[in-house]
Amino acid sequence: MRAAPNEIIRNLRVQEKFNLTFNRQTTNTMKRFLSILAIAVAVCLTVSAKNAQNQELDQTQNQTQLTLVEQSNTQEISALDAALPVRGLAIAAPSRQGMDLFVKFIEEELAPARFNLLILRVDWNYEFQSHPELRDENPLTRADVKRLVEICKKHGIRIAPQINLLGHQSWAKTTHNLLREYPEFDETPHVKTENYTGWPNDDGLYCKSYCPLHPDMPRVVNALIDEITEVFETDLFHAGMDEVFYIADDNCPRCAGKDPAELFAGEVNRIRNHLALTGKRLMIWGDRLLDGSLTGLGAWEASMNNTARAVDMIAKDVFVCDWHYDRADLTAIYFAMKGLDVATCPWHRPEFAVRQMNDMIRWRQQTTPKTASHLRGIIETVWSGADQFLREYYGPEPEGKETSVAMTLKRLMEEYKKM
By the criterion CB under 5 A, which residues form the site for Zn ion? 187, 211, 252, 254-255
Distance in Å, CB of 362 to Zn ion, minimum: 43
Which CB sits closer to Zn ion, 198 or 257? 257
Among 199, 201, 192, smallest CA distance to 173 is for: 192
Q: How far apart are CA 246 and CA 231, in angstroms?
A: 31
Which CB sits closer to Zn ion, 288 or 376? 288
Distance in Å, CB of 161 to Zn ion, minimum: 26
Distance in Å, CB of 211 to Zn ion, minimum: 3
300, 287 in Cβ contact below 8 A?
Answer: yes
Query: How far is residue 86 CA from its own chain's centroid?
Result: 13
Which CB sits closer to Zn ion, 214 or 281? 214
Distance in Å, CB of 203 to Zn ion, minimum: 16
What is the number of residues in the chain?
Answer: 419
Q: How far apart are CA 115 and CA 300, in angstroms?
A: 28
Distance in Å, CB of 271 to Zn ion, minimum: 16
Which CB sits closer to Zn ion, 102 or 185? 185
Burial grade of 45 (CB within 10 A; 0-12, 13-18, 19 or more)? exposed
The three-class DSSP label of residue 240 is strand
Which CB sits closer to Zn ion, 82 or 255? 255
Which CB sits closer to Zn ion, 160 or 244? 244
229, 145 in Cβ contact below 8 A?
Answer: no
Distance in Å, CB of 353 to Zn ion, minimum: 37
Cβ atoms within 10 Å of 382's Cβ, excluding its own: 23
Distance in Å, CB of 384 to Zn ion, minimum: 32
Q: How far apart are CA 178 and CA 263, in angstroms?
A: 20
Cβ atoms within 10 Å of 181's Cβ, excluding its own: 14
One DSSP character per residue, 108-134 reads: IIITTTT--EEEEE-TT-B--SS-GGG
Which CB sits closer to Zn ion, 68 or 248? 248
Burial grade of 143 (CB within 10 A; 0-12, 13-18, 19 or more)? exposed
Burial grade of 290 (CB within 10 A; 0-12, 13-18, 19 or more)? buried
Which CB sits closer to Zn ion, 189 or 369? 189
Query: How far is residue 78 CA from its own chain's centroid?
Result: 25
Which DSSP helix (H) or strand (E) runs through 379?
strand 375-381
Distance in Å, CB of 251 to Zn ion, minimum: 9
Distance in Å, CB of 190 to Zn ion, minimum: 12
Which CB sits closer to Zn ion, 145 or 255? 255
255, 291 in Cβ contact below 8 A?
Answer: no
The three-class DSSP label of residue 238 is strand
